[in-house]
Structure 1
Amino acid sequence: MRTLVITGGTQGIGKALAQHYLTRGDRVVVIGTNQNKGEALLAEANRLSASDRCSFLPADLSSPTVTIRLADQLRTRYPSIDALVLGAFRYQIRRQETAEGVERTFALYVLSRFLLANELRTALERAPHPVIVNLCGTGGKGGWLHWDDLQLRRQYRPLAATMQGARANDLLGVAFTDEHSDSPVRYVLHNPLFVKTGLAEPFRQPTRTALSIITKVFATPVDKAIQPIIERIDTPPRPALSAFRVDRMIDITGPAFDRNAARQLADTLRNLIINRTDD
Structure 2
Amino acid sequence: MKTLVITGGTDGMGRELARTYLRRGDTVVIVGRDKDKALPGAHLIAADLSLVSENRRVIAEINAAYPAVDALVLCARYFRSARSVTSEGIEATFALEYLSRHLLSHGLTDPGVIVNVSGPGVPIGRIHWDDPMFERGYDGVAAQMQAGRANDLLGTAFSAGRTRYVLINPGPVSTAFRGEYDAATAAHVESLKRYGAPVAEGVKPIVALIDDPPGAPLSAFTQGRPISLDHPSFSPEAAARLGDLTRHLLNSLA
TM-score category of the 2 structures, normalised to the smaller one: over 0.9
Show the counterpart of 2:251: 274
Matched, 1:262 2:239: yes
Alignment of 1:48-127 (within 5 A): 51=41, 54-120=42-108, 122-124=109-111
Show the counterpart of 1:4: 4
Change in Cα spacing, 1:210 to 1:162, as seen in structure 2 (3 Å) is closer
How many residue pairs were aligned?
254
Structure 1, unaligned runs of 5 or more = 46-50, 125-129
* TM-score computed with the length of structure 1 as normaliser: 0.87
Select the structure of larger CA radius of gyration. 1
Aligned partner of residue 238 in structure 1, secondary structure? coil
Give 1:207 deviation, angstroms.
5.6
Give 1:73 deviation, angstroms.
0.8
Show the counterpart of 2:134: 152
Structure 2, unaligned runs of 5 or more = none
Aligned partner of residue 184 in structure 1, secondary structure? coil
Runs of 4+ residues deviating >3 angstroms: 204-211
Superposed CA offset, 1:107-150 (max 9, x none): 00110000000000x242xxxxx100001111111100001111
In 2, are the aligned partners of 1:131 and 1:233 still within 8 Å (CA)?
yes
CA distance in 2, matches of 1:16, 1:216: 16
Identify the structure with the greater helix proportion.
Answer: 1
The sequence identity of aligned pairs, in percent, is 43
CA distance in 1, matches of 2:154, 2:110: 19
In 1, are the aligned partners of 2:174 and 2:199 still within 8 Å (CA)?
yes
Show the counterpart of 1:249: 226
Specify the code of the residue in structure 1 equivalent to 2:91: E
In 2, are the aligned partners of 1:200 and 1:211 still within 8 Å (CA)?
no
Show the counterpart of 1:131: 113
* 2:147 counterpart (149, 165, 172): 165
* 1:202 counterpart (180, 183, 197): 180
Higher mean alpha-carbon deviation, 264-273 vs 196-205, is at: 196-205
Q: Root-mean-square deviation (CA), in Å?
A: 1.5
* TM-score computed with the length of structure 2 as normaliser: 0.95
CA distance in 2, matches of 1:208, 1:259: 36
Aligned partner of residue 195 in structure 1, secondary structure? coil
Give 1:94 deviation, angstroms.
1.1
Specify the code of the residue in structure 2 equivalent to 1:101: G
Specify the code of the residue in structure 2 equivalent to 1:24: R
* 1:222 counterpart (196, 199, 224): 199
Aligned partner of residue 140 in structure 1, secondary structure? coil
